[in-house]
Structure 1
Amino acid sequence: MLGSLAVLVAALLALHSAVPNAVGNLGSLLETFLPWLGLPAVALLALASLRRSPAAIVAAIVPALVWAVMFGAWVFPRTSPPGTSTLTVLQHNVADDNATPATTANTLARAGADLIALQELTPQTLPVYEAALTPEHPHRLFVGTIGLWSRYPITHSRPLDIKPKDITADWNRGLRATVQTPTGDIAAYVAHLPSVRIRPQDGFGTAWRDESATALGAEIAGEKLARIVLMGDLNGTVHDRGLSPLTSRLTPALDGFAFTWPAAFPLARIDHIMTRDAPATSTWTLPSTGSDHLPTAARLDLKK
């Protein structure tokens, strides 16, 4: 029994992309929480040790080894100090029902980021973030409920049409801008993809999120600048095949687990920083700000 369970856990880890989405998007649901398969792997190893069965122990080691290969590097994240060619970027869904926006804004202002991307801004809270962030980030851009604050000049900005076709309400959640850093221009993208839901009738509902990700991926595919940074609440993890239009074109900042949601007990990293030709040298999360998401930040190397 233990051997069979060990083989199952190892297979789910190594072959997660083979789990079909045909029924309730089970594949994407598994991929959302894939790192947590480390818990049953450890439990199986502990049970096998208690039974003192060499065969069971060998079988239980297999999923533990698979997990270590996939996620072991996340256990010991790297750290790198800011340098002359470093760009520090910060991504945060501030939550439109945040009861303490001033606290959130002040926390973000003290983070030392060069670029700050926010989602779920409202007409009532925008002045609060403006007051806290603009002194050190005078260049800013807003589209719908998202915004970008920059220490450096912003040019050639435009909204992105990433709205799913079935959404008829006013919905603007994407922007693109050129940021003129001291080491050259970088294309900055900010996005907030549609939420996903688990419902008894249709399982893991990701259709709108996937459609929006495809549209955003097409925009990025056409980007002329070599350097790109995408900051956003993408409502999916990097292993989720629904984000493949993005992860196939950009490199996610994956240093450490850095789970961002829900803030009270983070289970998944759904807030992301992804790049092209601007590798992340370290990634981390900030403490809770009053939002249901944690802020995530990364240092990017712009030496090339």
Structure 2
Amino acid sequence: MVKDGDHTSEAAPRLAHTRGWLSSGIAHIRGVSVPVIDLRTSIGMRPANDLRERNLIITEYNRSIQGFLVGQVDNIVNVSWTHIQPPPSSTGRSNYLTAIAKIEDKGVANLVEIIDVEKVLAEIVTYDVSISQGVLDDALVPLMSGTKVLVVDDSATAHSQVKATLSQLGIEVISCSNGQEALSLLQAWCDAGKCVTDEILLMITDAEMPEMDGYRLTKEVRSDARMANLFITLNTSLTGSFNDEMVKKVGCDLLISKFQPDLLVQAVQERLRRGK
């Protein structure tokens, strides 16, 4: 199973250069030339020998379209994120596993590994985390240094890229791997008598995560008077009117597309402007 999403922003992520394409060629799909990545090789597995048993999954991710060459497809199932759990802590952070799920098939429970496609693509394409000229508001820059931002995402790659961007401004990143972990941290601060907005400038959260997604996390924060005024930015690669409506429904302050440093900086600056 591949965790994947579509873009939501009008701007594509800036790519510094590509490296080590594990390409199996180009596929022409509906008039579009799509690069094909051998997913098995990308995650350290041996490539399948018989191409007749291979299948192609076409995905759109942050305004880029690519195909993943995979093995045989036994079943296609729709799984709710409520049934997806984080991987065991013993798996470490060097693998490509971002979550697991139990799938029932004819009374037999199968354990399915969910691959972090963000990590796969990050090892193929180097994302430029530099901040474009003219984006920074000189009046706000002094206010950024020493502040903290809570980043909630199940992808270690996403954490690294957000941290690489914000650290340029002297901003410290506090990391949580899912919504439940983040909510517990926020509640612990409140229970200790701390003001959440004194601890962090804002929270940047992914949409889809195991245990608790970004929508539910935002709803829980907004329903708690002790932290209801926390500035929340949804940082996602999902697209469509559904996502826009969910952002409005749960009360996010901003919606930005992943892996775009300028948008991350603009989110911080928007929070500072509202604070003033």
For normalisation by structure 1, the TM-score amounts to 0.29
For normalisation by structure 2, the TM-score amounts to 0.31
